[in-house]
Amino acid sequence: MLFDLDMIKSVYSRIPERTAAARKAVGRPMTLAEKILYCHLYDGPAKEAYERGKSYVDFAPDRVAMQDATAQMALLQFMSAGKKRTAVPTTVHCDHLILAKVGAEADLAKSLDMNREVFDFLSTVSNKYGIGFWRPGAGIIHQVILENYAFPGGMMIGTDSHTPNAGGLGMVAIGVGGADAVDVMAGMAWELKFPKLIGVRLTGKMSGWTAPKDVILKVAGILTVKGGTGAIVEYFGPGAATISCTGKATICNMGAEIGATTSLFGYDAKAAAYLRATGRAAVADLADAIAEHLRPDPEVEKNPEQYFDQVINIDLSSLEPHINGPFTPDKAWPISQFAQAVRENNWPAELSAALIGSCTNASYEDLDRAASLAKQAAQEGLSAKCEFLVTPGSEQVRYTIARDGQLAAFQKMGGVVLANACGPCIGQWDRHAEMKDKKNSILTSFNRNFSKRNDGNPNTHAFVTSPEIVTAMALSGDLTFNPLTDALTTDSGRKVKLAEPRGDELPKRGFAVEDAGYQAPAADGSAVEVKVDPKSERLQLLEPFPAWDGRDLTNMVLLLKAKGKCTTDHISMAGPWLRYRGHLDNISNNMFIGAVNAFNDKTDCVKNQLTGEYGPVPATQRAYKAAGVGSVVVGDENYGEGSSREHAAMEPRHLGVRAVIVKSFARIHETNLKKQGMLALTFADRSDYDKVQEDDRIDIVDLSSFAPGRPLTMILHHKDGTTDRVALNHSYNAAQIEWFKAGGALNLIRKKQAQ
């Protein structure tokens, strides 16, 4: 469908002038990421060059997108901001709150019944404030955005960490917390530290079993889960032109797993073809007219080391299929080495489930290539040797592959087709009872494989790869099977070697859909009434957080010293907790229940300093709040990686945690903590993490002189009477310090709106 054409025309009309101004300001050729960023400055054409990784810059994104789990809190905040309508085009997509158990029709019906209150709330709020609403079953937010809203050279933010998926169409698309979305919906500037730039030069051309997913799986192995933090990853080079638009989106999507601010490709013939195939020929025509501005300058392609902070070279012709995992998406294995890794690490070789789809890999091309293997299986009398689940990315894709025969091929192979939603990828998978705690292995075409993420089972070893490899391995049921070299055995004992997967980038007969699932908002929503039942367990109107009282934080206790990986899944789990995403107090009962306590290596078990007893983290923190005792959380490296969910920041704030002190932060979570009026601080000396003891009383001082670039001091009062003074760094600028003083960014918005 074609949306917001006038807005796109307006953006494109400004690009030539703003690009020229930016080129003059920086005094050199520019990457594509720089062009788009400088063309979206809140204050108009560039007047100065910004320093990467240091300058805080105000931007004006073109649109906002939210999924149903994060939209609840974002819209509750927006309702209290006092605006009558969103200032930029905005959409809500219902994809996270949908079960994955028996199949699409039954799961969707049950999900609608279970979540009716929330879906009705989101629908009504959207109708009131001019927000486009995509109903449950319409598809996964990022696939729907790519099909309908993404456009080359644009800039958007979304309340989901995989928003960079739109980079496949040449858009700077950034995952944020709900408070950031509220800023943009309210017409305010959106602040971002000007990113560093990582260039990935692609040469050659993929063939055989290699897929676009393998590009990002290899990059994840190179950069690790934090190697992209604070940077935009820009893909370029002759190899880029050989990858489909949806393949590019897959690569950009999983840039979230390396901590990148976003990822993107330049505009090319593949992007134009996708725009035309999805009913947006008018956008393709507009983009063609300014194509030179929608690509990096030629000098950048010729000498990338002069323009990027880091350059990675990948030869697509020699790239192997990869399988990454378990428990982290950056443990990368070329398939030629994977079987040996399975044996050496004693990972369960028997495959208990194979799952394809998700926002990362549910395009027409993905499913067509996987279906080519399912069709081979049918011809040879083969079927899946494990549970095989298929999640289409959107109703448009599902309808089209139903018409073209791919769905039937999956079902004949033994596959179960789930609803067009996130499902197992976000923890909505209701597995069979015998798999609840059993040690097992699963293979998915998803993006994340953190412990307990998919099914709540800490003993599930999850590996991520391409849909083609997942489908082939489902036919073997064995993680040590290599479809490039090994043969399958039929029931009669005959050996069968699978031919390489084949598929079309776009449907030969075009996309088709009867009901895409879109609900347009009222032209005038002023008469629409939004009601929230005060007795609701699912929704709760927000109360403003208290402002800083002007004093140092003293005599605080340690709530938790987290050990190792502490993602937003560890801080605020999804799965069954998704139902409480609109009720801050109820969802706070999952706070830190997945984090490992450094003092006992247990999860959800911390010492209550008031009683001396050990108990659950949420209950312990509620006791501190009731007693008026402030608390601190201490963490390890890349704290808060993963999802953009701001609940991971709002829950500690709501329950009275005053500061989070870590070795290093993931970008989105650090911003979310700042937005909620908390102190997000880092150890100046990482080894000072070891000085924090379980029974410490903690002071954070020098707050009266809290200023950009000026460290704060933590005083640790140990149980034996000794003390340690620890220097704490921070990345707050002047505006963010005002958030802290006001008790949160939303308090400032509310104050400005009232003036």
Identify the active-site residue in 142, 369, 448, 667: 448
Helix axes 245-253 and 364-380, enclosed angle (nearest 10): 100
* CB atoms closer than 10 angstroms to residue 290: 16
d(CA 105, CA 419) in angstroms, rounded, equals: 7
Whether 752 contacts 552, CB under 8 Å: no
Half-sphere exposure of residue 335: CA atoms within 13 angstroms, side-chain side: 24
Catalytic residue among 40, 63, 96, 322: 96
* 120 annotated active-site: no
Whole-angstrom CA distances from 396 to 99, 252, 748 are 20, 21, 41
Q: Contact, 98 vs 107, CB < 8 A?
A: yes
Residue spans of the domains in the chain: they are 5-318, 322-430+437-496, 553-754
Superfamily of domain 5-318: Aconitase, domain 3 (3.30.499.10)
Out of 4, 62, 68, 95, pick the active-site residue: 95
Q: Residue 599 corresponds to which tokens in the numbers above?
A: 């003092």
DSSP secondary structure string for all residues of 90-123: EEEE--SS--BSS-HHHHHHHHHHHTHHHHHHHH
Is 569 considered catalytic here?
A: no
- The widest CA-to-CA distance across the chain, in whole angstroms, is 79
Q: Can you tell me the distance from the alpha carbon of 570 to that of 448, in angstroms, rounded to the nearest whole number?
A: 13
**3-state DSSP assignment of residue 394:** strand
Q: For residue 320, what is the DSSP state? A: P
Rounded CA separation 172/364 (Å): 23
- Out of 352, 358, 394, 643, pick the active-site residue: 643
583 is catalytic: no
Q: Which of 444, 422, 449 is nearest to 366 (CA)?
A: 444
pLDDT at residue 754 in the model: 73
pLDDT number for residue 729: 98
Q: What is the pLDDT of residue 603?
A: 97
Q: Do the domains spanning 5-318 and 322-430+437-496 agree at the CATH topology level?
A: yes
Residue 108: what residue type?
A: L
* 131: CB partners within 8 A, 6+ apart: 86, 90, 91, 92, 125, 521
Catalytic annotation, pick one of 4, 160, 404, 569: 160
Classified by CATH at the fold level, domain 553-754 comes out as Aconitase; domain 4 (3.20.19)
Burial of 585 (0-12, 13-18, 19+ CB in 10 A): middle
The encoded tokens of residue 494 equal: 């005959």
Whether 431 is catalytic: no
Q: Is 96 a catalytic residue?
A: yes
Give the integer Cα–Cα distance in Å for 104 and 417. Answer: 6
Contact 697, 556 (CB under 8 A): yes
Per DSSP, 606 falls in state: E
Q: What's the topology of domain 322-430+437-496?
A: Aconitase; domain 3 (3.30.499)
Spot the catalytic one: 431, 579, 645, 717. Answer: 645
Spatial distance between the Cα atoms of 544 and 541, rounded to a whole number of angstroms = 10
pLDDT at 456: 85
448 is catalytic: yes
Q: What is the mean pLDDT of each run of 10 residues along the chain (755 residues)?
A: 95 98 98 99 98 96 97 93 93 97 96 96 98 98 98 98 98 94 94 97 98 98 93 98 99 96 99 99 99 98 98 98 95 97 98 97 98 98 97 98 98 98 91 85 93 88 98 98 97 94 98 98 95 93 95 98 96 90 97 98 98 98 98 97 89 98 94 96 98 98 97 98 98 96 92 77
Q: Name the region of 388 (left: φ>0; alpha: ψ -120 to 50; beta: rest).
A: beta
Residue 712: per-residue pLDDT = 98
